[in-house]
């Protein structure tokens, strides 16, 4: 038997997700989840959120959320011009022998009241080659540095939990970070660079639905053809596999759709909540008494909490304040002014997320949000939620069609549909799957741990190969 010193170092599986991050280790006998956030109601899950204050101090997970809600929600959003550089422009004068050089400052509008930045859905930044990072209080953080803050925390927690330094990891990745193949490769390269910054030295990647399939295969005892339906916060991924029930299997097709739980939250906001903030209300009437609608480009800032403060910029605020004066529905625009200028956007979206979760079990649920001039007391039904996400549902149906076609199968050939990921439990999608695959068994895998557990299995196989 080899000595302990010759044993390979532990290799963990990490599911760095849009909404949550989790990690696990397979010791050959059982899968051991890594506790990542003791303050979370589910300690094995770390909310993929970062809060950075003006002193460049950062916090993660539940602590990041609590700090932002305590320090930055309800404060006044104040935009002021800030000099960010100087432009020198040399032009020809009327005198051919002499040029004129014009030097002027360049400005941006900066929220001077901000105490800290909260960053959410950081993983989605990998989709865009043009997004390289962000300036936070005078320090530029690359996307890799931001992701490394989360992955470094995972590595440190795993090292403490397993009792030795962890430097080897198998990371999950979506089937497609983005549609363009070159940009997709670049996204994985940036994720690898983030893992290196976090202190990992041996890194490999496994598609997330393939990882979920590996975890499912541990439980299968009979030959079958299965569809893995992995619906998380940022993407929806599919895998179709055939297994002989004795451990052997073949991956027939993988496919990905750029739809996730964040998009469903935005759909609720766009169709069910934003109208109560004036998104569909007139701001004035013109000379022939025709209503002038709230500008769509301004309304679009409501669909993500990160862009809501943009409505506090002088030009946008002027439109809102005019609507308060002249609109037949001024109370909606008073609520919008408060939402934007008092930085309540994130708290509102937290309530939207909780509403979405309640609709998994309930046919309808109250939606209550109150703050200063905001007094919302709505009832949101499951049916209205389903109608709100009609565009996202169409994308999901098309993705299912593509993966079945890629596998050269028909819907009736699928014996089991295996679901994982937080959005997979939404009744609308459960029904979509049972309608699309009437002969298949619908098998819920561990909602938040299916991918992570599969990654741990892949990590162990990699380390021992």
The residue whose two tokens read 């990160």 is: 306
Whether the Cβ atoms of residue 221 and residue 209 lie closer than 8 Å to each other: no
pLDDT at 287: 57
pLDDT in tens, 195-229: 999 999 999 999 998 999 889 988 888 999 999 99
Retrieve residue 22's tokens: 């989790």
Q: Could you give the domains of the chain?
A: 4-75+117-206+456-463 (3.30.420.40), 79-111 (no CATH)
Contacts for 247-252: CB closer than 8 Å, 24+ residues apart: 247/217, 249/213, 249/217, 251/210, 251/213, 252/225, 252/406, 252/407, 252/408, 252/409
For the chain, the straight-line distance linking the first and the last C-alpha, in angstroms and rounded, comes to 17
Tokens of 288: 């022939």
Task: Report the candidate in 41, 37, 255 with the shortest Cα–Cα distance to residue 157.
Answer: 37
58 strand-pairing partners: 52
Three-point CA angle 93, 94, 99, nearest 5°: 25
Q: Supply the DSSP symbol for 273.
A: I
Q: Coil, helix or strand for 423?
A: helix
3-state secondary structure string, 282-345? EEEECCCCCEEECCHHHHHHHHCHHHHHHHHCHHHHHHHHHHHHHCCCHHHHHHHHHHHHCCCH
Contact call for residues 282 and 292 (beta carbons, < 8 A)? yes
Rounded mean pLDDT for each run of 10 residues along the chain, 465 residues in total: 58 95 94 96 95 95 94 79 50 50 50 84 89 91 97 98 96 90 93 98 94 89 93 91 86 92 96 96 76 92 93 92 93 96 94 96 96 94 96 96 96 95 94 96 89 95 76
Can you give the pLDDT at residue 109?
A: 58
Q: Do residues 43 and 260 make contact, with C-beta atoms less than 8 angstroms apart? A: no
Q: What is the pTM of this model?
A: 0.84
- Cα torsion for 154, 257, 142, 137, to the nearest 10°? -90
Backbone angles phi, psi at 183, to 5 degrees: -65, -35
> What pLDDT, on a 0 to 100 scale, did the predictor assign at position 245?
81
345 Cβ contact partners less than 8 Å away, ≥ 6 residues apart? 305, 306, 308, 309, 339
Closest of 101, 100, 134, 102 to residue 117, by C-alpha:
134
Distance CA(168)–CA(365), nearest Å, equals 45
The DSSP secondary structure of 45-64, one letter per residue, reads: -EES-EEEETT--EEEHHHH
Q: What is the DSSP letter of 4?
A: G
pLDDT the model gives residue 72? 87
Q: Residue 133 forms beta bridges with which residues?
A: 142
388 CB contacts (<8 Å, ≥6 apart)? 267, 268, 270, 271, 272
Length of the chain, in residues: 465
CA 299 to each of CA 235, 276, 310, 340, 425: distance values in angstroms, whole numbers, following the listed order: 25, 12, 11, 12, 30
| pLDDT for res 83 | 44
The DSSP bridge partners found for residue 118 are 51
For residue 341 the two structure tokens come to 């200028």
Long-range pairs of 315-324 with CB within 8 A, sequence gap ≥ 24: 316/340, 317/341, 319/283, 319/294, 319/295, 320/278, 322/283, 322/284, 323/278, 323/281, 323/283, 323/284, 323/294
* Per-residue pLDDT at 448: 84
Question: Exposed, middle or buried by CB within 10 Å (0-12, 13-18, 19+), for 238?
Answer: buried
Q: Is 85 exposed, middle or buried (CB count within 10 Å of its CB: 0-12, 13-18, 19+)?
A: exposed
Residues 6+ apart with CB under 8 A from 363: 381, 382, 383
Helix (H), strand (E) at residue 105: strand 99-111
Look at residue 104 in the predicted model and tell me its pLDDT. 47
Residues 214 and 451: their CA atoms lie apart, in Å, by: 9
């Amino acid at each position: 038997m080899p000595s302990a010193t010759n044993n390979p170092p532990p290799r963990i599986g990490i599911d760095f997700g849009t909404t949550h991050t989790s990690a696990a280790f397979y010791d050959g006998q059982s899968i051991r989840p890594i506790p990542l956030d003791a303050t979370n109601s589910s300690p094995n899950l770390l909310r993929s959120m970062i809060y950075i204050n003006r002193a460049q101090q950062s916090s993660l997970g539940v602590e990041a959320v609590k700090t932002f809600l305590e320090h930055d929600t309800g404060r006044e959003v104040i935009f002021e011009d800030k000099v960010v550089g100087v432009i020198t422009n040399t032009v020809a004068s009327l005198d051919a022998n002499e040029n004129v050089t014009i030097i002027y400052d360049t400005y941006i509008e900066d929220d001077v009241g901000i105490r800290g930045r909260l960053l959410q859905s950081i993983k989605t930044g990998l989709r865009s080659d043009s997004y390289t990072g962000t300036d936070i209080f005078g320090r530029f953080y690359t996307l890799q540095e931001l992701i490394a803050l989360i992955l470094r925390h995972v590595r440190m927690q795993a090292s403490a939990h397993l009792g030795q330094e962890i430097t080897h990891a198998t990371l999950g990745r979506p089937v497609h970070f983005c549609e363009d193949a070159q940009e997709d490769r670049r996204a994985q390269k940036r994720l690898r660079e983030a893992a290196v910054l976090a202190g990992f030295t041996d890194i490999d990647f496994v598609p997330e639905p393939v990882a979920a399939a590996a975890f499912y295969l541990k439980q299968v005892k009979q030959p079958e053809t299965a569809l893995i339906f992995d619906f998380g916060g940022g993407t929806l991924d599919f895998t179709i596999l055939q297994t002989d029930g004795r451990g052997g299997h073949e991956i027939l097709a993988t496919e990905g759709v750029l739809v996730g739980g964040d998009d469903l939250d935005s759909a609720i906001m766009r169709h069910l909540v934003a109208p109560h903030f004036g998104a569909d209300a007139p701001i004035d009437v013109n000379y022939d008494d025709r209503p002038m609608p709230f500008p769509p480009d301004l309304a679009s800032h409501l669909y993500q909490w990160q862009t809501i403060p943009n409505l506090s910029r002088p030009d946008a605020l002027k439109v809102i304040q005019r609507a308060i004066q002249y609109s037949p529905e001024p109370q909606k625009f008073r609520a919008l002014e408060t939402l934007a200028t008092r930085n309540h956007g994130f708290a509102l979206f937290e309530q939207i997320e909780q509403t979405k979760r309640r609709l998994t079990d309930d046919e309808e649920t109250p939606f209550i949000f109150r703050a200063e001039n905001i007094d919302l007391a709505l009832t949101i039904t499951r049916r209205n939620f389903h109608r709100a996400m009609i565009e996202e549902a169409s994308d999901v149906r098309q993705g299912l069609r593509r993966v079945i076609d890629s596998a050269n199968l028909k819907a009736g050939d699928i014996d089991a549909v295996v679901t994982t990921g937080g959005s997979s439990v939404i009744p609308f999608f459960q029904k979509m799957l049972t309608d699309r695959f009437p002969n298949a068994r619908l098998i819920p895998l561990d909602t938040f741990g299916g991918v992570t557990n599969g990654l741990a299995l892949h990590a162990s196989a990699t380390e021992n190969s």
